[in-house]
Each structure stands twice: as structure tokens, then as C-alpha cells.
A and B are shown apart, each in its own frame.
Chain A
Amino acid sequence: MIHIDQLSKSFNRKPALSDVSLTIPSGQIYGLLGPNGAGKTTLIRIMNQILKADQGIIQVDGKLLSANHWKDFGYLPEERGLYKSMSVSDTLVFLARLRGLTKYDAQESVRFWLEKFEISSWAKTKIEALSKGMAQKVQFIAAVVHQPNYLILDEPLSGFDPINVELILSELKSMKAEGKTIILSTHNMKSVEEICDHVALLHKSKLIAEGKVHALREKTINGEFIVRFSGNMIALANALWTEFELIDTKEIGENRFQIVVRQRGERTFEELASNLMGKLKLEAIEKRLPSMQEVFLELIAKEEMNNEE
């Protein structure tokens, strides 16, 4: 578990992090979200001991973060960088050894990961000869080659094609299954919904929301419902009347539809159900959870409003 307590950092008197406190549970995938300039990279750099915080502490499994933790952390920075003139295997062995592995263990681990990602044939290829996507894969391996317990990834999916995005996501899931803790910063909200257990939302250097993904989505009320039914659209229009607004319609079969409606005023789920029942052959009614994108925008908008007030 990583416990961050009242962390602050500023550059030239401009706050990059203000009094941020978080708890990242072990064995989870934790998403750090926030618009550009929110302070995500600063937080990540402090966790990686690249920067020192002006105030606050970080504890890892109850101990203060120190140089002893280097071997426990893996890091994939947003701006990728490798030695262009070195070969793939030499680069990976070098970086693994910097993280504390012996030469032999580093070589074995590199062999394992290259085989796992089916790129053993690149072992002797120089980094400068790799395509951007290939170099991204190597950079990902560099972050995990020493089998860290904590993996910090800054925009891990950028630069990957859809096939490799799936590969990385499945790898992250299997690492989570092995009990590793993964902290990722991303703008890809779809992947956040897909793999993150917890998220923290940073905005203008402050933490504005934190919690389980599902709980945050539940908490953000949008008053939208998904309805699947058989019947015709005229009957639907009559049933909704002016109390609900139809915002999406999709035909899913012969005279079968899936619609999304939004409540107006103080209307409730029960009222919607009673309005529709008897007028249409209902298959299902469910509350539509907002996407993380919507949650993100909603929370930011709220924060902006609070700031203005």
C-alpha cells in the first residue's frame, strides 16, 4: 500500500501539487486522472523519487519512501526515452541492473520478456532502428523487467496500435492478478473504465475526487435510463409524455428498440417504469451509469464553479 500524506510541490512559486493525500491499495490498478497541468506527472515523479516534495511524505507498506524502494518500483514515463545507439537486450539488461538485478538475473528476465512479447528477434537490434510502436514495447518491458511490486505508468497506451493496446491491458490485468499494484496516469477514459479499480482526479494541483471507479460513476447522477422494449415508437412517445426526454434510439430487432431517456425535473426511476408499463412490452429498464469521461467533465466543471464562487 502506498500512502501519500499532504504532499505539496511548487515550481517557481507556482503550485504543482497542493496538499495531496491519497491511499493506493495494494494489488489494485489505480488511475490518476486530470487535465493537462493538473499535477499528475509531478506526483508520479515524486513517487519515483525523481523530484523531492516541498512538503508531505510518502509511505510504502508503512515505511518512508527511500532509495531502498527503487527495486520495488517500475516506471514508464510519458516522454519515452532509451539509448538510441544501444541494442534492445543491452538496454534492458542495463536498466534491469540499475534496478538491482544481477547481470545473470537481468539477462534471464530480459529473455523471458522478449519471448513473452514475441520480440526475441529484436534482441540485437539497435533502438534507433525500431519503429515508434516497437520502441514503446521495449520501453514497457524496461518498466517491468525487474518484476517490481509497484508499477507507475504515465500514459502507457499512447503510441500503441489497438492490438498492442489489448496486449498491454491484458498484461496489466495479469500483473494485477499476481498482486502487483499499478498506478497509471491516462487520458484514455475507456481504459480507465475497463481496468482501473480506483481513481484519483487532480485538478489545478489539488485532489478533487478519489474513490472506486464504480462508486464515482454511481455518485455522479445524470438521470439517464436505458430502456429495452418491443412495440412502436408512437406508443413510446405517448408513454414518455413531457416528463422524460428521449435522447437516443437504437433498433435492436424487429420492432425491438433500445432507448436512452433523461428525466426532467424530479421524476424518478419508478415513475418512468409505471409510465411505460402496459404501454410497451418492456424487456429491461436500467440506470445508465455515466462514463468516466462524463464523470471527469462533471467533476471538473463542479470544481471550476466552486472556484468561481
Chain B
Amino acid sequence: MRNSFLIASREFMDRWSSRSYQLMLVVGPLLILVFTYFLLKFGDQGKSSLRVLIADPTDLLGNKITSNPTKAVEYSFYTTYLDFEEFRDGNRFKEFDAFVEINEKILNNKTVKLFYRERPSMEVKIKLKFELERRVEEIMIDQFTDLSIDKYRQIKQPLNIDFLNVYDPKNQAENERGWVGLFFGAIILFFIGLFGMTILRSTSKDKSNRVVEVLLASVRSSELMLGKIIGIGLSALFQLLVWAFFIIIGLLIFKEYIFIDIFDPSNYEGMQFATDVKNDILLNSNASRYNMFIELIYHRINYGVMIPVFLMFFVASYFFYAAFFMTIGATAGSESDGQQFIIPIFLLLLLSFYAGFEAIYAPESFLALFFAYFPFTAAMTALINVSIGVTTSGAFQIFFAFLFLLLNAFVFIAIAARLFKNGILNSGHRINLKTIFQWLKKR
């Protein structure tokens, strides 16, 4: 084990001294933070508060919009005809950000025009639309029906159909959260793909350098293989932790100092009306999805469970996949020969994404159950299940899936060790199944 540790340290230091590794330590999280910054910054681009002048020459609205206007929009009324050029150029209108032209046919054509100086944000647009719509609705109820406003709104309520799982009637498992699991799973796959290739290249390089013969005269082949896997794995884990550290710090800075408004829940109180009226447009709007993103990332994931499960599956999956990358590196006659055997491994990595969608959209299906235990896809499925929220039986399933993955990792590492031992000193040949079986049988 001492020798495996020495080899692991060397592999780690080899990665550490590589410029590309050092660069990626900083550039990786920076890119993610820049991406997140732009998502937050421009996800709801536009002016977030508006002073609106309502030009209502017929005084249809009666100088009133709502008894409880939102903070984001401040209304003033102008009961004379105003065209947009006058608004644009007139000094007395400079204090207003936008003006709404209420025409006399509004009750028939249900159309108004809003002229703005600076594009309002999605959130402000929605508030404004909602409040104007409500006011016009009140006038129409008054003019065309004998109903009270409350009665009318009661009638207008759409029919809701809640699709509930009979096993989860409270709908505790929310699909949206599954996407966070998918994201975490994707991180595992990304690192496995990246560092799996490093294992393959490092093994091929040692073979072509002939340094492997010097090493094998001092250590067992299994110690050498394990040392390489652990060393490269530690460099992957270290990179991941550095990324996580920088990303968490960055997100906290975004929350506390840069996008204070976005993260202030009181800013969304006004949005609550949207769900009151079940406005489909609003529910499907970008703003809705945008806020869901923040809600998901900052509030709805149980990181206390998510992070340990993530680390467990990260390590087990890494060892499991590393066995394959190591085998290819050790048995291939040349690096290019090994490249073609990478394709099936990457296809299995991609299968994890399919397994992820299956876990999100059809968690009760047989396929989802199969993927939960299938070692190639277990990590992704488990993380999605954890992010969605699991019951006690679900927790046991994840635990057994982890044990099964770990068992497979041990088995495949043992197989890889034998192939590594018999293949590492051979080079210049073309790898084929017959040779692999011969090496597997050889002591």
C-alpha cells in the first residue's frame, strides 16, 4: 500500500504540475460563474421598476388601476389624448418611463399599446399586464353583467386537474428538483470522462516510455494500477472541490452583493397573484422558469443529503469506470488503438443521461429500476432520486444500488488488474477479444 501511495502521490503531482490542470482549476469555476452571472443578469433583463403614464382621454379607467398596486409599477393618469411622439419629446413627460395608450375601443378589441423608453423586465411586464387586465375586467363586469366582481372571478376560475401519484399523494417528489440531480450526475460523468481519459493516456504513456518495466521491478502490478487510479482520482476530486469552493463562494457573492433584488423573497410577493388566477401564459413564461431556477438552486435542494450521496457515488463510479479506462490503456498496443475502445465507454456514459430522464419522467417504470442498479447508470439515477426526495424504501434502494456499484467496482478492478499485469508489457500489437481472454486466463 505504501508503494500505491507513492505512485498516487506522483500521479497527483504530475497533474498538479501540469499547466492545463492549474489553468482549469481557476478557469473552470470562473466559466461556470460567468455563465451563471449572465443567466441571472440577463435572465430577466430590463428595467425592474416603471413610472407609467396612462393616457386615458375617455377616462374609462376612472384614474384607477388597482387598490393595491405593486411597488414595481407606479401609475399616473392623463385624461387628454397623447401620441407617442409627444410623449417621447415632451419635457413634462420625461419623468415617465412608459406610457399606456387607452383607446376608446379597448372593451371590444382588448388591445392597448405601451410605449417605453427602456425595455421593462419580464417581471414588470407581467405585473403591468395583470393589473391593467384586472381593471379592464372590472369595467367590463360592471358594464356587461349583473354579477359581482367576486362572483365573476369565481366563475372564471379554470378547472384544475392535479395529476397525483397514488403512492405520493402529497406530491413530495417534485420533478423539477430532479433536474438538479441530473446536473450533479452530469458533473460526475464529466469528471469521469475527463479523468478516465487521463488514466488511459497516462497508462499508454508509461507503456510507450518503457518506464513501466522499471516500476514493475519495484511494485506489484495491482499496486501500480491502484496507485495510478487513486492519484488521478485524487486530482479529479481536488479539482472538483476547488470548483465547488469557488462556485459556492461566487453564488454567495451573487446572492449577498450583486443580485440582492432577485434573491429577496419580498420582491416576489406581487407575483403570487399569478398563481391565483392560474394564468397559463404567466405559468409558462420565462420569468416563471427563471424564478424556479433560483428557487431550486438556493432553497429546494437538501444539500446535507445531496453532497454526501454525490461524493459516495462519485468515488464508487470513478473506480468502476477507471477499471475500464485502465484496462484499455494497459492492453492496447498503442494509444490510437486504445481510442477506438473508448467509444463504447462513452456511449455507456451517455446512457446515464437517458437513465436520468427515465428517473425524472417515469420513476416507477421497470427501466428506471433497472438503471438504478445498473452500475453504469447508478450514480445518475441515485442523484436524481435524492434530489427529488426519497422515501425510506427509496433510501434503501439507493443504499443497495451504491453497495452493488461498489461490489462491481471491486470486481472490475480485480479483472482490470489481471489484464493490466498481462498487457502492460506488451506493445505494438492490435488488441482483440481473443488476446484479452488469453490474458484473463493467464496467472
- The answer, among B212, B217, B218, B443, for a CB contact under 8 Å with A52, is B443
- Does B220 lie within 8 Å of A73, measured CB to CB? no
- Does A48 lie within 8 Å of B217, measured CB to CB? yes
Q: Which chain B residues lie closer than 8 Å to A281 at the CB level? A: none
Chain B 421-443 against A: per-residue CB contact (8 Å), 1 yes, 0 no? 00001000000000000100001
- Does A50 lie within 8 Å of B216, measured CB to CB? yes
Q: Does B41 contact A (CB under 8 A)?
A: no
- Does B209 lie within 8 Å of A81, measured CB to CB? yes
Interface size on B, residues (CB 8 A): 22
Q: Known contacts A50-B425, A82-B211, A83-B209; is A94 also within 8 Å of B10 by CB?
A: yes
Q: Does B261 contact A (CB under 8 A)?
A: no
- Does B3 lie within 8 Å of A50, measured CB to CB? no
Q: Does A49 contact B (CB under 8 A)?
A: yes
- The answer, among B6, B17, B214, B425, for a CB contact under 8 Å with A82, is B214
Q: Considering the chains assembled together, what is the distance between the CA atoms of A48 and B216 in angstroms?
A: 8
Q: Which chain B residues lie closer than 8 Å to A94 at the CB level? A: 6, 10
Q: Considering the chains assembled together, what is the distance between the CA atoms of A49 and B218 in angstroms?
A: 8
- Does B209 lie within 8 Å of A84, measured CB to CB? yes
Q: Which chain B residues lie closer than 8 Å to A86 at the CB level? A: 10, 14
Chain A 80-115 against B: per-residue CB contact (8 Å), 1 yes, 0 no? 111111100000001101110000000000000000
Q: Considering the chains assembled together, what is the distance between the CA atoms of A73 and B213 in angstroms?
A: 14
Q: B186-244: which residues lie under 8 A (CB-CB) from chain A? A: 206, 209-220
Q: Which chain B residues lie closer than 8 Å to A95 at the CB level? A: 214, 218
Main secondary structure of the interface of A (DSSP, over half): loop
Q: Known contacts A52-B443, A98-B3, A98-B6; is A77 also within 8 Å of B213 by CB?
A: yes
Q: Considering the chains assembled together, what is the distance between the CA atoms of A48 and B14 in angstroms?
A: 26
Q: A31-90: which residues lie under 8 A (CB-CB) from chain B? A: 45, 48-52, 67, 70, 73, 75, 77, 79-86
Q: How far is the CB of A156 from chain B (nearest CB, A)?
A: 14
Q: Which chain A residues lie closer than 8 Å to B213 at the CB level? A: 45, 50, 77, 79, 81
Q: How far is the CB of A68 from chain B (nearest CB, A)?
A: 13
**Chain A: which residue is nearest B424 at the CB level?**
A50
Chain B 105-120 against A: per-residue CB contact (8 Å), 1 yes, 0 no? 0000000000000000
Q: Does A12 contact B (CB under 8 A)?
A: yes
Q: Which chain B residues lie closer than 8 Å to A99 at the CB level? A: 218
Q: Known contacts A12-B438, A97-B6; is A75 also within 8 Å of B209 by CB?
A: no
Q: How far is the CB of B20 from chain A (nearest CB, A)?
A: 12
- Does A98 lie within 8 Å of B438, measured CB to CB? no
For A49, A82, A98, A142, which residue has the most chain B Cβ atoms within 10 angstroms?
A98
Q: Known contacts A50-B425, A52-B443, A94-B10; is A73 also within 8 Å of B209 by CB?
A: no
Q: Considering the chains assembled together, what is the distance between the CA atoms of A139 and B217 in angstroms?
A: 14
Q: Which chain A residues lie closer than 8 Å to B219 at the CB level? A: 70, 98
Q: Which chain A residues lie closer than 8 Å to B214 at the CB level? A: 75, 77, 81-82, 95, 139, 142
**Chain B: which residue is nearest A98 at the CB level?**
B218
Q: Which chain B residues lie closer than 8 Å to A67 at the CB level? A: 220
- Does A85 lie within 8 Å of B14, measured CB to CB? yes
Q: Which chain A residues lie closer than 8 Å to B6 at the CB level? A: 94, 97-98
- The answer, among B14, B17, B211, B218, for a CB contact under 8 Å with A81, is B211
Task: List B residues at the A interface (Cβ < 8 Å).
Answer: 3, 6-7, 10, 14, 17, 206, 209-220, 425, 438, 443
Q: 10 closest Cβ contacts across the A-B interface?
A: A81-B210, A81-B211, A98-B218, A75-B217, A48-B217, A79-B210, A77-B213, A50-B216, A81-B209, A99-B218
Listed by A's residue number, 29 A-B pairs whose Cβ atoms lie within 8 Å are: A45-B213, A48-B216, A49-B216, A50-B213, A50-B425, A51-B425, A67-B220, A70-B218, A75-B214, A75-B217, A77-B214, A77-B217, A79-B213, A80-B210, A81-B206, A81-B210, A81-B211, A81-B213, A81-B214, A82-B214, A83-B14, A83-B209, A86-B10, A94-B10, A95-B214, A98-B215, A98-B218, A98-B219, A99-B218
